[in-house]
Structure 1
Amino acid sequence: MANKKKIKGVEPVNIATEKAILGCILKNKDVADNAIPKLTADMFYDNNHKSIFTACQKLYEEGKDIDVVTAQTQMINDRTDFPDVFNYLVELTTKAPIDITKWESYVDILMYNAKLQQIINAGSALIEIGRSAKSIDEASERVSDVFIEISDVESSDEGIQQIDKLVLKYIDNYHKALNDKNAFKGLSTGFNIFDEYTNGLLKSAVHILAARPGVGKTAFALNIVANIIQREAQKNIPLKDKSVIAFFCLEMSNDDLIHRLMSTLSNIPLRKIRKAEVSNDELFKFAEVSQLLQNNNLYLDTTASISPGEILARCQKIKIDNGGRLDLVVIDYLQLLSLNESGAGSGNMTQDVTRISRGIKMLAMKLNVPVIALSQMSRSIDSLARKDKTPKLSDLRESGAIEQDADVVFFLSYGRKADSEKGLPATINLNIEKNRHGERNAIVYNWYGSTVTFKEAPVEQQRVYDTESGEVKGKGKYRKKEESDSEDENKIDNEVKNENKENDDSLGY
């Protein structure tokens, strides 16, 4: 057997920096108040330094002054085994190479080294998992946990903070917003009315898009991607500045997704693209759109069995490859996600979805990125006994955790069928049933099935009749149904559609 090659390298340790930051904390109250909440004892390599910081941290938490005497007293009370601790503390404040004005740089160095050490420890943990795991499922789940632990390199979690500093930061950002009206807005979906109600796709927010099979969940999500691509192309934004998007689809192939994007962006019928029946006149547009798609930061992942932890790890790599940027994550769809590599769950679907839903929320917050997660609806909405066909939060499949973790929940449902004689396209209703960033409302979309395209209906058609409340939702307000409302504008198609007829032009879906 070949000898194992010993890995050589330098440990990510800087004892001088550890001494410098401890000296700053012991000498200056403002530094202590700002530095201690950012650090943990585990970030220090030297065990004596761990003990000193722990003592300072306890004093800080108890609201006591921090200096050489109080730190020594705390360490004695903690029965810390550190001979001649007083002289060492004095040395930290007098002889250590410290500059109070550079304390933030010391903290940055310490945190950077700690993160490198965490990565080294993760490598050791992966080796141990490989040697001790009793099954692939167990190994996969433990590996996902390791990646989650080291993935928050740029975590936005700053711990508990006093409100006075938070308000100052808020006012500063608000002043910027007064000069830039887009400062508080999220990523635009390209659907103006939707953006008006939700303020766009906000960072760290989870947006649940739910519908019954065949209504157009995947198509709507891909339309948002297509809108972003078109908008940035029209503005001639260079590739390095274009939005970075990760699209995870667990039930379609890469070719299927690209077929749909090509159809939506080129306005060439999807059937013709799938059957390679594009005409000579359409080939130029086809080539133009293919070039457009190549010149983008769009990532597709069609792994059939993947967990939130694995998605998080892959998204972290995308961020690293793009200079720390990731603008949108789409997951199609939530109920197909697994808790481990094999796709096996606990046997309790509700518990599994609860863990998956929480994993998606953690993913959005750790990456500080908006997430669109597609979701199935329960079959109860199709029940003949149910007269009200307007989607509700309770229609989410295994709904408890999903509606709790989500920031925005919106449903797609059938509206009017296409009327070729009158030249009217089919419509799809979008109901926003939960919205932490704005109002609940409804939007009407014209649906062009041949090119898998959604377009917001004209303002005068933005009215959806709620069969339960007797209210008409639309364009910013709820109101009671009026006699003058035309049947076409308020009719909801309540037929049960069990097959995917999304691209059947004869039905309009």
Structure 2
Amino acid sequence: METNVFEFDRESLEAEKGIIASIFYYFSEISEIIDIDSILLDNFITLPAKRIFNTLKTTKLVNGSYDPIIVLDSLKSSCLNDQELNDCTNYLESLPRNIQYFSILKYLNLLQEQKVKRKLDNLSRRILRTSLNSENFNDQISTWKNTFEKIISQNVGVNYIDSKEAISNFQKQANEAASTSRVNFLKTNYSEIDRRIKALSGGQLVIVASRPGVGKTTFSINLICNNLRNIEKGCGNSKESAIGIFSLEMTNSSLLEKLIAIDSGLALNEVQKKLEGAPLGAVERALIDESQDKISKCNLLFSDESNITLGKITAIIKTWAKIYDLKFVIIDYLQLINVPEERNSNMNQYQKIGIISRTLKILSMELNTCIISLAQLNRKSEERKGSDKVPILSDLRESGSIEQDADIVMFIYEDKKEDEGSFPKTILKIAKNRHGPTGNVEFQFDKSKGLYKLAN
């Protein structure tokens, strides 16, 4: 018996249309995201959507996309009567053309959840209608239990490989690395850091934390600057390498000023003169222009929305990963990310941070990219005295979940005892390294230029 369409909320019906529209208008694009044959017919709600989905699966593509005339002819053959054909035609005409096809997995998950809720609701109705007695009690309980477990198990994807396939995948990656000059993972290009963490590998969540004003944002921009040559446009690969950065505190222009200063070797206030309309020397102008040209030829992706939500960050990163070979993404900074009101109304800050850090870790693994999230340290380290002022993992604000989810945790702090030369020693402490050693790395941080250099 067909479920009444009016029992479903608007969001579910729009998700259903989103799936059909994505397949109909963007088949080639979504084929890289999901295997169409893996989509189950019973996930769909309305009869027109089910009929159209079945038709699309059996209709031949023309130059990698669907021809509306051919689809309509196929529907005429598969529909049982004129009313059904008319419903399908109206449904097709109502499909949004500007659909966010890269969100098809989100649409599918929503419909999958609705399907499970629907089946559980039907089971509960059957239970309420059943009269129990001493003769049928045990049999009915067993039947309901088995039905319940079957419904729940259908919502859990069985995802595993055996050792043979695991070794095959490992060897395939090794062969690709040996046969191409393409860089799989980027490094920090600071030898003392790379010696410990090897690379900014895909699937890793890296936390870089400090107290305000110490230089964590500037350090992250140095990581970008150190890798500009690896993300140049026109590399000839099917997907060009890219780096993304979310700045929740600073505008794109301010980030670019810092990046140009680091790349050109000029003081930041010299670079800022260009936007201020202040006079610049010929040498300084030439260096700035050279850096601008260099950066413009790179796949460097910016987002400076200050009030951005976790969901929007996730959607943007997935979009970037669809278009580019996304090497790493920087988020500045973790505690500023918003969790939607409907999710956070009854949560404390610790729980919110837990959702954010876990989501970022899962996203890094799903997309096989490195996510570098900057984070704020609490005041505890500043309140301690002597060597006890060195940051520890518990100094991370709402630290429990961040500690657990992060593969690498780095702290940046100033060594006041060494503040004797032109530049104070800045220490980068690798406090956690899931796949290697921890330890300290000493830097000289030229604050006027924003330049981090290893201390000799």
Unaligned runs of 5+ in 1: 1-6, 15-37, 48-96, 98-119, 126-142, 459-509
What one-letter code is carried by the residue in structure 2 that aligns with 1:313?
A
Alignment map for 1:80-479 (pairs within 5 Å): 149-150=106-107, 159-174=159-174, 179=178, 186-230=185-229, 243-276=241-274, 277=278, 278-320=280-322, 322=323, 324-340=324-340, 346=346, 348-384=348-384, 388-415=388-415, 419=420, 424-458=422-456
Instruction: State whether residues 231 and 300 of structure 2, in contact with CA within 8 Å, keep that contact through their aligned partners in structure 1.
Output: no
Deviation at 1:451, TM superposition (A): 0.5
Instruction: State whether residues 147 and 309 of structure 1, in contact with CA within 8 Å, keep that contact through their aligned partners in structure 2.
Output: no
Cα distance, 1:211–1:42 mapped onto 2, change above 3 Å? farther
What one-letter code is carried by the residue in structure 2 that aligns with 1:204?
G
Cα distance, 1:380–1:348 mapped onto 2, change above 3 Å? same
Unaligned runs of 5+ in 2: 1-16, 25-36, 47-57, 59-90, 110-156
Corresponding residue SS for 2:227 = helix
- Give the CA RMSD over aligned residues: 4.1
Give the whole-Å Cα distance in 1 for the aligned partners of 2:38 and 2:230. Answer: 42
Instruction: State whether residues 308 and 337 of structure 1, in contact with CA within 8 Å, keep that contact through their aligned partners in structure 2.
Output: yes
| Post-superposition CA distance 1:332-376 (Å, at most 9, x none) | 000000012899764611111111111111221222210000011
Deviation at 1:39, TM superposition (A): 4.7
Question: Between Structure 1 and Structure 2, how many residues are aligned?
Answer: 328
Give the whole-Å Cα distance in 2 for the aligned partners of 1:307 and 1:283. Answer: 38
Single out whichever of 162-171 and 338-347 deviates more from structure 2: 338-347
Deviation at 1:275, TM superposition (A): 3.6
Give the whole-Å Cα distance in 2 for the aligned partners of 1:368 and 1:397. Answer: 27
Instruction: State whether residues 431 and 442 of structure 1, in contact with CA within 8 Å, keep that contact through their aligned partners in structure 2.
Output: yes
Give the whole-Å Cα distance in 1 for the aligned partners of 2:226 and 2:429. Answer: 20
Corresponding residue SS for 1:388 = helix
Give the whole-Å Cα distance in 2 for the aligned partners of 1:256 and 1:12. Answer: 37
1:461: which partner in 2?
none
What one-letter code is carried by the residue in structure 2 that aligns with 1:304?
S
What one-letter code is carried by the residue in structure 2 that aligns with 1:224?
L
Give the whole-Å Cα distance in 1 for the aligned partners of 2:320 and 2:23. Answer: 28
Give the whole-Å Cα distance in 2 for the aligned partners of 1:188 and 1:441. Answer: 17
Single out whichever of 213-222 and 408-417 deviates more from structure 2: 408-417
Single out whichever of 269-278 and 221-230 deviates more from structure 2: 269-278
Alignment map for 1:472-491 (pairs within 5 Å): none
Q: TM-score, normalised by structure 2?
A: 0.62
Corresponding residue SS for 2:226 = helix
Instruction: State whether residues 432 and 440 of structure 1, in contact with CA within 8 Å, keep that contact through their aligned partners in structure 2.
Output: yes
Instruction: State whether residues 305 and 341 of structure 1, in contact with CA within 8 Å, keep that contact through their aligned partners in structure 2.
Output: no
Give the whole-Å Cα distance in 2 for the aligned partners of 1:184 and 1:197. Answer: 19
Q: Percent identity?
A: 28
Cα distance, 1:290–1:384 mapped onto 2, change above 3 Å? same
What one-letter code is carried by the residue in structure 1 that aligns with 2:256?
I
Give the whole-Å Cα distance in 1 for the aligned partners of 2:386 and 2:312. Answer: 39
| Post-superposition CA distance 1:285-331 (Å, at most 9, x none) | 111111111111111111111122211111222233x3x52221110
Give the whole-Å Cα distance in 2 for the aligned partners of 1:45 and 1:347. Answer: 33
Give the whole-Å Cα distance in 2 for the aligned partners of 1:359 and 1:253. Answer: 25
Instruction: State whether residues 148 and 313 of structure 1, in contact with CA within 8 Å, keep that contact through their aligned partners in structure 2.
Output: no
Deviation at 1:183, TM superposition (A): 9.5
Give the whole-Å Cα distance in 2 for the aligned partners of 1:343 and 1:223. Answer: 35
What one-letter code is carried by the residue in structure 1 that aligns with 2:295?
L
Cα distance, 1:264–1:343 mapped onto 2, change above 3 Å? farther
Deviation at 1:170, TM superposition (A): 2.9
Deviation at 1:403, TM superposition (A): 0.6
Deviation at 1:124, TM superposition (A): 8.9
Give the whole-Å Cα distance in 1 for the aligned partners of 2:294 and 2:158. Answer: 40
Corresponding residue SS for 1:438 = coil
Between Structure 1 and Structure 2, the one with more helix by share is 2
Instruction: State whether residues 378 and 395 of structure 1, in contact with CA within 8 Å, keep that contact through their aligned partners in structure 2.
Output: yes
What one-letter code is carried by the residue in structure 1 that aligns with 2:334?
L
Deviation at 1:436, TM superposition (A): 1.2
What one-letter code is carried by the residue in structure 2 that aligns with 1:369?
T
Deviation at 1:159, TM superposition (A): 0.9
Cα distance, 1:241–1:149 mapped onto 2, change above 3 Å? closer
